[in-house]
Amino acid sequence: MSTVFEHLPSRLFFPLASVHREHYAALLLIYYRLFLEYHSGVERELVVASFEEYFRTLGDAPSLQAPPGLPAGLPGEGEGEGDGDDVAQSSDPTEEKGEEPGGASGSPDGPASVERGDTRLAASAFLRRLIEYGWVNEEEQQDFVRVINISSYATPFFEALHRVEQGISVEYESHVIGIYSSLVGDAAREHGEHAVINAHGHTRMLVESLKVLHQNIRRHIQALYDGDPDVHEILHIHYDLYMNEVIDRAYNRLKTSENLSKYRPRILQAVADYLVDDDWLARTAERLSVMKRSSVAAARELLRSLLIEIRDELKNLDPLLTQIDDKNRRYSRISTERIKARLYSDASIAGKIKHILAAWADGAGDETGPRALRHGIYRSRRLDAGSLYTRRSRSLDVAAFQAVRPDAFELEQAEVELLLRIRNQLSPERIAGFLEPFCPADGSAVPAHSIVTDMESFVRVIYAAAYAESRDDRFPFRVSWGDEETRSGRFVFRRHDFSRRRPL
């Protein structure tokens, strides 16, 4: 027996059954209102910003912990019981750990947990979880802008949440005809308060239905890429499923009997006439104020806003209609290309490679010899051991791996320097104290070769020259360099002199 869960993700209802269900419901409604305002999906940054604003109004973001087995940075839920570290008591061990059945793999983006008070991370985490559960999906546009759209199967549930919040439960059969019949005719002149409200509802549902149609076409396009269907399966998807669900039910009616180009000019003209008719606005606003239990001025403003919204929504439908036409043409082209690829697969490079691999697999156990292939990609028409790619080996000089024996002088210098570092004898203060008895108080220069007597003093002189150049006034001695080399015993170095910066 067919069930509704054959068409829905298994975790679709997890958000509304978790301990964070109030946050999820509020965020879903926030997104749904954004979705109604934009004709081709909502940019991800705008969704995150709206979610972040919601958490800021709460004064604090919920503390979310992602247990092992769930994507990082996302609020974890048990199966209908709890989230993360706040999971309710349950007999299911996966629920007690805050894990979900199946153990979703970790996600590279996002933190392992969302600390309380970080509204930005909380907003991103909840959005990623709604995508994970299947309420919404993410699409990257050609300009690399990421757009969040409602999943087609989740649309009724968004409508239910919205209608529960708003208290509206009206269904319409034909939106374009409904708008036209409500605004164009004597009924709108006599009972405009009802006509405008009905037309506004039809307009909203028309825009929403077009968005759903846009997403349905996208879903069918994606279905062509999933798996590797045969020709008869592609034909079934195209002429049975797509034609029935998209073309016959919506697209043909949009282009023929309910074509906007036929009704929209008259609707827009009627709206323009109502907006400038003060007598009609006054009469209708007075009756609308009784219905809404508000003042006449508020009712008049509401009436004008509804008419303006109807006008703007109908005018701004062209980009969405263009996208629907483009996606429909794209679906037809992709479907045809997939059929051609299946029928003429051996004629393409990909088909030839596939044929080669299939032939190799069929002849892998053949002991009589390699199988001959009917292709012309390679100069040889046979596959054998020589056809396989092997990495070239190169000979390396053994001497390159031998350790280089250090020079005796350099080794002795390194040992002395290490000992002095261990005893903290190479700090700027200790080096200044080392030069103190050698430099005269009147500021005259003393040559460095007169100071060097052994390896330890040689190392100290090297550090003294480095400190004198790099530390400026912080080091009490300066250094001046000569051009010639000088020698002091076995030590040879460039001539340089030390002197006091400030004579005593």
Give the mean pLDDT of 32-50: 86
Cα–Cα distance, 411 to 417 (Å, whole number)? 10
Q: Which range is most confident: 36-50, 73-87, 447-461? A: 447-461
| Contacts within 8 Å (CB) and 24+ apart, 372-378 | 377/349, 377/352, 377/353
pLDDT tens per residue across span 390-421:
666 666 666 666 666 778 888 888 888 888 88
7-21, 194-208, 212-226: least confidently modelled range: 212-226
Residues ≥6 apart with Cβ < 8 Å to 366: none
Length of the chain: 504
Q: Which two three-digit tokens encode residue 25?
A: 């419901």
Q: Which has the closest alpha carbon to 127: 142, 141, 138, 140?
A: 138
54-63, 127-136, 151-160: least confidently modelled range: 54-63
Question: Where are the chain's structural domains?
Answer: 4-151, 170-343, 408-500
Cα–Cα distance, 292 to 299 (Å, whole number)? 8
16-20, 56-60, 244-248: least confidently modelled range: 244-248
Cα–Cα distance, 165 to 27 (Å, whole number)? 13
Q: Phi and psi of 133, rounded to 5°? A: -75, -20
Asked whether the beta carbons of 459 and 413 are under 8 A apart, the reply is yes
Q: Could you count the other beta carbons within 10 Å of the beta carbon of residue 301?
A: 13
Q: Which has the closest alpha carbon to 258: 184, 191, 179?
A: 179
Q: Is the pLDDT of residue 428 over 70?
A: yes
Give the mean pLDDT of 105-134: 69
pLDDT tens per residue across span 249-298:
566 666 665 567 778 888 888 888 888 888 888 888 888 888 888 898 89
With a pLDDT cut of 70, the percent of the chain lying above it is: 69
Residues ≥6 apart with Cβ < 8 Å to 406: 414
Q: Which has the closest alpha carbon to 317: 243, 209, 245?
A: 209
Which value, to the nearest 10 degrees, does the dihedral of the CA atoms of residues 457, 463, 464, 470 take?
170
Q: Is the pLDDT of residue 479 over 80?
A: yes
Higher-confidence residue of 6 and 333: namely 333
Quick one: pLDDT band at residue 73, thresholds 50, 70, 90? very low
Q: Which has the closest alpha carbon to 273: 195, 206, 377?
A: 195
Identify the three-state secondary structure at position 452: coil
**pLDDT at site 190:** 80
**pLDDT at site 497:** 92
Mean pLDDT of the chain: 74
Question: 136-140 and 146-150: which strand pairing?
Answer: antiparallel
333-337, 360-364, 493-497: least confidently modelled range: 360-364
**pLDDT at site 346:** 59
Quick one: pLDDT band at residue 95, thresholds 50, 70, 90? very low
Asked whether the beta carbons of 119 and 61 are under 8 A apart, the reply is yes
Q: Is the pLDDT of residue 63 over 70?
A: no
Give the mean pLDDT of 457-466: 90
Single-letter residue type at 13: F
35-39, 102-106, 171-175, 389-393: least confidently modelled range: 102-106
Q: Is the pLDDT of residue 248 over 80?
A: no
Q: Is the pLDDT of residue 85 over 50?
A: no
The model carries a pTM of 0.38
Asked whether the beta carbons of 179 and 34 are under 8 A apart, the reply is no
